[in-house]
Structure 1
Amino acid sequence: MRVALLQVSKVQSPLYLDSYFQNCAKQGVSLVVLPEYTFEPFFRHLQSLPSPQLVASHNVSILRELSQFAKQYKLEIITPIVVDSYTLKLSNNRLSNKFYKTIALIDSQGFRFYIQQRLISYLHWDEHAFFANKHYKRPKLPLTIEREGLKIGILSGFELHFDELFVAMKPHSYDVLIVPCANTFDSLVRWRSLCKTRAFLNSCVLLRVNRVGTEIVDQASWNFYGDSLYINAYGQIEDSLQDYEGLMIVSLRAESIHKAREVWEFHKPFSHT
């Protein structure tokens, strides 16, 4: 299976990505992954808008455009995106003022959503207070798909921090985790360590796609540094992108992932004596 990690900044329209999608189709890619805050303003700007509803409504048209690209190029596309409760079919009100941080899986037939379970809640970046995402006491599984013999889980990068989510996932033996991110500040080394640890302990490939670009927040420059990663099931970095826009295409085989699981035996249950 071939997967493409598309490391971009905010884009105004899916049309900007057309040449990337063409390239993916030519190289036999079946799944393309985008980073967080690709199609809407970055959270701190979204938070200050007088009508975030306009953004959420506009994002529905973006999803439809991406579905057309998926049909044209025979792709599936994964993108984080902000939508309202009406789009999620949680409300009958088209003018709902509740917004959700989601990850959409888009194909030629339409789209479905993973509603992020854990949100950033820091003073300088408080998604938890803004979005209506439910915080479950017992974590749900990530959005799960099976492609070419691979079980793939899709969740947010921030959710990599929460052990309880991985405890729930462990019996299901995911082969690949896909984690879109929007990482900034001086966190590159920390994120590399976290991603390598999760891949190794879960004997799975981890594909982390981060955005690039600069945002001015409170008169300070926030640099989104990229460093999208392909980490193998042994916790080793196979490939990475630097701090500029780019495309990484990776080839995945179930056999090599399952071999790592057999070698380390982390999925074996404790024996009872």
Structure 2
Amino acid sequence: MKQTICLIQMDITFGDPEANVKRVKDLMHQVMKQLHPPHVIVLPELWTTGYDLKRLHEIADPEGEHTQSLFAELAKKYQVHIIAGSIPKKTKTGITNTLYAFNREGEVVTEYSKAHLIQLMDEHLYLTAGSSLEPFMLDEVVSAGFICYDLRFPEWIRKAILAGAEVLYIPAQWPIQRLAHWRSLCIARAIENQCYVIACNRAGSDPNNQFAGHSMVIDPWGEILAEADERPAIIQVKIDTDQVQKIRSTIPIFIDRRPEIY
């Protein structure tokens, strides 16, 4: 199946959900008024707040209700699938870093909370880790969502592949000093899983970090189909998910696995 994917690599106003929601609405309008609008729009990690972790208890989205209402409306309005990056979701037991995906009918097709919290950026002090993973369908394509640091844990991502995933969506706030790791890990996850990797990073900076940008779309051979630079950008690329099964049959790595010894 052919799909056009759009990645919105945006700067994020630190700790200001209202300003960031306005920016996303404006950018989505800009994207969808094109002559050939995309089938799927992807946003970065924690796009509503940035890494204002110390104030998350004030500015996190209670139960994700505002995010769900916003993107249900936008998905139906524009008739587009949306991987709504991730947002801080405030629950009774803590705050999670949560990704939502919406189909073009405005329905939530997955909710995934970041499983791996990076102590280097103090996430573990302010966030509660998720522990479940469910692939989801967009236009009959089996997909899965992960968030930023999850990229460093191939055993977690392989679980989605074994459940049938052909496309991986990875919103992130990856810092510039580890740009080489970002690019290498995205490519590696595509090659080892023979799948598409749709990786949407943020641009810009906050009081503590400069972010790498370089959002990219990688095919199952590990070829980069599109890549932004470090500045805010919108990149759009066509993928053909039929290529996944063709490549998996050309080099059938999954039948050669030996899980009994792992």
- The TM-score normalised by the length of structure 2 is 0.84
Aligned letter for 1:52? H
Do the aligned partners of residues 126 and 209 (structure 1) sit closer, same or farther apart at CA in structure 2, a change above 3 Å counting?
A: same
In the alignment, structure 1 residue 248 sits paired with structure 2 residue 257? no
Secondary structure in 2 matching 1:102: strand
User: Distance between the aligned counterparts of 1:156 and 1:182, measured in 2?
Assistant: 9
Amino acid in the other structure paired with 2:255: K
> How many residues are matched?
247
The alignment status of 1:209 with 2:200, answered yes or no, reads yes
Residue 172 in structure 1 maps to residue 163 in structure 2: yes
Separation of aligned partners in 1, 2:63 and 2:22: 15
Task: Select which of 3, 6, 30 maps to 1:4.
Answer: 6
Q: Describe the shift of the 1:129–1:258 C-alpha distance in structure 2 as closer, same or farther (beyond 3 A).
A: same
Structure 1: gaps (5+ residues): 86-95
Note the alpha carbon deviations across 1:190-244, whole angstroms, 9 max, x for none. 1111111110010001011100111112xxxx21120001111001112100111
2: distance between equivalents of 1:46 and 1:270? 41
Give the structure 1 partner of residue 175 of structure 2: 184
1:100 counterpart (96, 103, 115):
96
- Superposition deviation, residue 15 in structure 1: 3.1
* Structure 2 partner of 1:196: 187
Runs of 4+ in 1 over 4 A off after TM superposition: none
Query: What displacement does 1:58 show?
Result: 9.9
Secondary structure of 1:195 counterpart: helix
Q: Residue 153 of structure 1 is aligned with which of 137, 144, 147? A: 144
Equivalent in the alignment of 2:223: 236
Find the aligned partners of 1:237 and 1:117 in 2 and give their Cα distance.
26
1:160-185 Cα offsets, whole Å, 9 max, x none, are 21132134234223211110010113
Contact 1:196 1:231 in 2 (8 A): yes
Q: Aligned with 2:73: secondary structure?
A: helix
Counterpart position of 1:132: 128
Q: Is the Cα–Cα contact under 8 Å of residues 74 and 106 in structure 2 kept in the other structure?
A: no
Question: How big is the shift at 1:28?
Answer: 3.4
Compared with structure 1, are the counterparts of its residues 13 and 189 closer, same or farther at alpha carbon in structure 2 (3 Å cutoff)?
closer
| Correspondence for 1:263 | 250
> Cα distance 1:170–1:17, how it changes in 2: closer, same or farther (>3 A)?
closer
Q: Does 1:82 align with 2:88?
A: yes
- Which protein is bigger by CA-based radius of gyration? 1
Residues 58 and 198 (structure 1), Cα distance of their counterparts in 2 relative to 1, 3 Å cut: closer
1:99 Cα deviation after fit = 1.0
Aligned-pair distance for 1:132?
A: 2.1
Unaligned runs of 5+ in 2: 14-18
Q: Summarize deviations over 1:71-112 as a string: whole Å, max 9, x none.
A: 211122222011112xxxxxxxxxx46211111123544545
Counterpart code for 1:71: K
Seq. identity, %:
20
Flag the structure with higher helix content: 2
Q: What do residues 15-64 of structure 1 show as CA deviations (whole Å, max 9, x unaligned)?
A: 32334323443423122110112111x32x332x3x72443349633442
Q: 1:70 to 1:148 in 2, by over 3 A?
A: closer
Give the whole-Å Cα distance in 1 for the aligned partners of 2:159 and 2:26: 39
- Maintained 8 Å contact 1:203/1:257: yes
Gap change, CA 1:46 and 1:256, over 3 Å in 2: same
CA contact under 8 A between 2:57 and 2:90: conserved in structure 1?
no
TM-score, normalised on structure 1?
0.81
Partner Cα distance (1:110, 1:173) in 2: 21
- In structure 2, the partner of 1:68 is 73
Indicate the SS of the match to 1:256.
helix
Q: Alpha carbon RMSD of aligned pairs, Å?
A: 2.4
Identify if the C-alpha distance between structure 1 residues 182 and 150 changes in structure 2 by more than 3 Å, giving closer, same or farther: same
Partner secondary structure for residue 186 of structure 2: helix
CA distance in 1, matches of 2:62, 2:248: 43
